């Protein structure tokens, strides 16, 4: 079980690091015009991804959840969203199905930002609660919406909520017109 997870993590690392290495080597070989918008965006995305993996203190090591969230964030960035990632003290042992659910919910939340928030920047934060649980937040400073009114935002929120509730987590959504949206997902064992 643990070995299978280690192997999975190695695979994840390999795929994700391959992307970053590919970017660096392409530049080194002179294949890319480094001043171009596309290359700059790719570099920024890769940098954000690596930073997401290494943040914290001297004691912090990459975790399954951290790697999954950072990789997901990197993919979302390709949609033109600037994602400020901050991870700290994530649990080292974490149920894979919860990792999957939280990462999927955060992905939906970020998709929601791309589609409805009218902004190109979002914050993705995650930290451990010290007793084996985590809090993941997705925040934007875009349009926001009226929580009382029926709107597009709410439909997407339903899929975020569904994924988290299904694994026994909690979701808190806050939004108001022109004040952005923040989604807090938490899970405790």
Partner 1 sequence: MIEIGVIDDDQMLLQGMAAWIGSTGDIRLAATATSVEDYLDTAEIPKIVILDLNLGNYTDPVRNVARLVNSGLQVIVASVIPDRAYIAATTEAGAAAYVTKNNNLDTLADVIRAIHDGKTPTTPEHAFWLGRDDRPRRPKLSPREREILVAVGNGTPHKAIARQLGITMSTVQTHLERVRYKYASVGRPIDHAAHYSERVREDNLGRERLPEPTNGNPHPHQ
Among 18, 25, 166, 174, binds partner 1 (CB under 8 A): 174
Cβ(111)–Cβ(80) below 8 Å: no
Residue number with CB closer to partner 1 (21 or 176):
176
- Contact between 179 and partner 1 (CB under 8 A)? yes
- Contact between 108 and partner 1 (CB under 8 A)? no
d(CA 173, CA 88): 22
Among 12, 26, 86, 186, binds partner 1 (CB under 8 A): 86
Terminal alpha carbon distance of the chain? 19
Least separation, in Å, of the C-beta of 146 and partner 1?
12
Of 29-48, binders to partner 1 (CB under 8 A) are 44, 47-48
DSSP symbol at 132: S
d(CA 179, CA 181): 7
Number of CB atoms found within 10 A of residue 96's CB: 14
Least separation, in Å, of the C-beta of 2 and partner 1?
28
């Amino acid at each position: 079980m643990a070995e299978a997870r280690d192997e999975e993590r190695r695979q994840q690392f390999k795929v994700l690091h391959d992307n970053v290495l590919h970017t660096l080597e392409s530049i080194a070989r002179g294949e890319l015009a480094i001043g171009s918008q596309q290359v700059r965006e790719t570099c920024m995305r890769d940098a954000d991804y690596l930073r997401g993996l290494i943040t914290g203190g001297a004691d912090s090591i990459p975790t399954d959840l951290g790697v999954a969230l950072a990789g997901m964030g990197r993919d979302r960035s390709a949609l033109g969203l600037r994602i400020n990632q901050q991870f700290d003290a994530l649990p080292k042992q974490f149920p894979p199905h919860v990792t999957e659910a939280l990462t999927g919910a955060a992905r939906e939340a970020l998709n929601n930002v791309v589609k409805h928030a009218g902004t190109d920047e979002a914050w993705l934060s995650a930290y451990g609660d010290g007793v084996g649980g985590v809090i993941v937040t997705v925040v934007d400073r875009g349009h926001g919406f009226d929580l009382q009114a029926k709107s597009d935002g709410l439909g997407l929120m339903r899929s975020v909520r569904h994924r988290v509730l299904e694994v026994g987590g909690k979701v808190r959504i806050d939004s108001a017109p022109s004040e952005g949206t923040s989604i807090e997902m938490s899970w405790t064992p």
